Amino acid sequence: MVKITDVARRAGVSPSTVSYVLSGKRSISAATQRRVEASIRELGYRPHAGARALASSRSNVLALVMPLRSGIHVPVQMQFAGAVATTARRHDHDVLLLTQEEGEDGLRRVADSALVDALIVMDVQLRDARVPLLRTLPLPSVLIGFPAEADGLTCIDLDFTATGESCVGHLAQLGHRCVALLGSPPEVYARGTGFAQRTAAGFTAAARRGGMTSTVLPCEPTRAAARETVERLLHDHPDLTGVVVHNEPALPLLMEAFQQAGMRIPQDLSVVAVCPDELAENTAVPVTSVAIPAAEVGERAVGLLMDKLNGRSVPDATLLPPRLTPRASTAPRGSG
Amino acid sequence: MVKITDVARRAGVSPSTVSYVLSGKRSISAATQRRVEASIRELGYRPHAGARALASSRSNVLALVMPLRSGIHVPVQMQFAGAVATTARRHDHDVLLLTQEEGEDGLRRVADSALVDALIVMDVQLRDARVPLLRTLPLPSVLIGFPAEADGLTCIDLDFTATGESCVGHLAQLGHRCVALLGSPPEVYARGTGFAQRTAAGFTAAARRGGMTSTVLPCEPTRAAARETVERLLHDHPDLTGVVVHNEPALPLLMEAFQQAGMRIPQDLSVVAVCPDELAENTAVPVTSVAIPAAEVGERAVGLLMDKLNGRSVPDATLLPPRLTPRASTAPRGSG
DNA sequence: CCTTCGAGTCGAAACGCTTCGACGGGCGGT
DNA sequence: ACCGCCCGTCGAAGCGTTTCGACTCGAAGG
């Protein structure tokens, strides 16, 4: 293994000088800098991560806590993780993957052992057991999603309230008066998952403001559940003309169920979804949708964390505005 | 921060004794052991990961290299990653997430800097640029998938050749004589992805052995591509009665396209898929399928790595046998 | 009864890096 | 011409573990 002393000897300087070239924490003459860099390159030197962490009490690793719970859409999570990983690298950090298998102890473990410098916590619940723990840990963290009590924590997410509102707004503009939200499986609501509840809240509030009739129904992502949900919905609300679907895997199933129930899309029923564009573009009828900007959330989350690590102050809450893309699944009421 | 000297003092022993209690590398009297463990517990001691890595030249972290390429099914990857993470923890290791963004340099970086002890490399191509590099690295590694030249490397995967054969076998048993394989998008074949090619090889060989007519066609996971592929297939092979689909996102699209082309499943056409059970059970007609045992692959991969790290010898190749689950999408030929 | 051995413990030397204080030499200000 | 400063560099002291010999017992073996 080539170490800093080897680099130093070859460049004719002391190890500390090499270190300063690497970190830029003291000024170094251009000539020395060049020699040291050449030496590093020629020897293929890489600082030993452990030694560095020990001496500097900075590991340059951040933990990504992915619960991998049921009922959440995996591709979105993955897109997010990918963005976190590549953005972290851009800031010279690596990413340690933590699943919820370990629970809160896992967080404490990596924090106490100084394995990581900071935490990114995904899939935050409204009453999340990890949140009080995060408050006590000496490490900076960023949450994806908002717990009920978010004060003092740095959180970021798509603005799901505005998302719900924006979907309703779109339908309202097209003249729809009776709308429904078909959401995540019941377990997701039961867990108190913020994004599900916020979408529902925004949806309901906007519908009420617009004087529209509205319902919210959870839905399992199975063919049978989709059919049953649709039947119940149409039975209870015969004048329904618009739905918002916030449940990726169920979206195609629900659309099919509506069509089999005799509702043509968009002639009889307008559909808006909260889902990735890729999915929205590949359903039987391309779906008007609001995408979750997973990549942007991931990037910004890392950015926030870096700011905190570097002592810069950051906003407590970052809400990304929804962007609705109209497609073929929505049309003015009565256009059939 | 509480350190090993604190623990030692409180237990009335030397730091080295604490270390030996922790590692079990020397025998310690039961009494001492108890006192040390109590001390650890009471102080909430966690060894500093960096210091440990420096002194022992073992970081207890392994790298998971996930390319995040296009055309591969994300949920399966994720299931795999989850299994790796939890299994690694069971062996007292953590997992560092590496995307392909960094390319081969990323591998070299984490290896040279001693950030990780070992590598798990996913989505291996037949001619993979990372493979020669892995040979030169001093770190043990396990590949998920098989490159063209696998000698000297430890690889594990579902036996895709047998999978292709098994699907054909199932169709043959039902009396089908003209079959097709609808596979991954062309880009996946173009990259020389082992699993795609092996399934095709097994499929074709088994069909030939059985005296069946067979075709292999790639397919993009879009509605339009699915329709076009199906039309072409039915035009070129009017006597087609069985298909194997090895392309998760395209599966529902293809089934729909077949039905719209007038082929009822399973009366006119039997369909076998290579996909997760969850997907197979939620298509319009539940699909006979071979699932990719992602969790098992992940677990075994970590197991192999641990064996290598501990100097145990391991088999070069591990091929998991396919398990075909019959469902409603396959029936004897001419049963309609 | 003396030697030998192993079990149990300790002290000290790494491990490879960062960082702090110090130092020499050139420069500008007076 | 002198003082004080800042720039660039160095040496040495850590950072918290692990691990290697060495040491002390008490027990087993001759």
Q: What is the pLDDT of residues A269-283, one digit of tens each?
A: 999 999 999 899 988
With CA atoms as reference, report the closest residue to A270 among A171, A177, A183, A336: A171
Q: Work out the pLDDT band at A194, boundaries 50, 70, 90.
A: confident
- Strand ordering across the sheet containing A155-158: A317-320, A155-158, A141-144, A118-121, A61-66, A94-99, B94-99, B61-66, B118-121, B141-144, B154-158, B317-320
Name which of A220, A183, A176, A222 is nearest A200 in CA terms: A183
Mean per-residue pLDDT for B13-35?
96
Nearest nucleotide to A25, CA against C1' atoms: C19
Q: Which of A106-110, A305-309, B66-70, B107-111 has the lowest mean pLDDT?
A: B66-70
- Report the range of poorest mean pLDDT among A58-67, A118-127, B187-196: B187-196
Tokens, residue A205:
């509030």
Residue A107 has pLDDT above 80, yes or no: yes
Show the tokens assigned to B131: 């493979």
Three-state DSSP class for B163?
helix
- With cut-offs at 50, 70 and 90, classify the pLDDT of residue A46: very high
With 90 as the cut, is the pLDDT of residue B220 above it?
A: yes
Interface of B with A in 285-324 (CB under 8 A): none
- Band the pLDDT of B99: cuts 50, 70, 90: very high
Residue A279 near chain B (CB below 8 Å): no
pLDDT of residue B256: 92
- Closest nucleotide to A20 by C1' from CA: C18
- Tell me which protein residue sits closest to nucleotide D15, measuring alpha carbon to C1': A55
User: Whole-number mean pLDDT of chain A?
Assistant: 95
Contact A334/A300 with Cβ under 8 angstroms? no
Tell whether B250 lies on the interface with A, counting CB pairs under 8 A.
Answer: no
What domains can be seen in chain A, in order of their start residue?
Answer: 4-47 (1.10.260.40), 61-158+294-320 (3.40.50.2300), 160-291 (3.40.50.2300)
pLDDT score of A288 more than 80: yes
Taken in order B154, B158, B163, B166, the sign of the CA dihedral is: positive
How close does chain B come to A165, measured CA to CA in Å? 30
CA distance A241 to A245: 13
Contact B91/A at CB under 8 A: no
The answer to whether the beta carbon of residue A22 comes closer than 7 angstroms to any atom of strand D is no
Q: Is the CB of B210 under 7 A from strand C?
A: no
B328 CB neighbour count, 10 Å cutoff? 15
Residue type, B60: N
Percentage of residues of chain B with pLDDT beyond 90 = 89
Residue from the list A78, A96, A281 with its beta carbon closest to the beta carbon of B95: A96
User: How many Cα atoms occupy the beta-carbon half-sphere of B18 within 13 Å?
Assistant: 22
Cα–Cα distance measured from residue B130 to residue A332, given in angstroms and rounded to the nearest whole number? 54
Is residue A133 within 8 A of residue A175, CB to CB? The reply is no
Nucleotides of C under 7 A from a protein CB: 7-12, 14-21
**Residue corresponding to tokens 């057991």:** A129
Flag if A75 and B74 touch (Cβ within 8 Å): yes
Tokens of B250: 């395209």
The answer to whether B168 and B210 are in contact (CB under 8 A) is yes
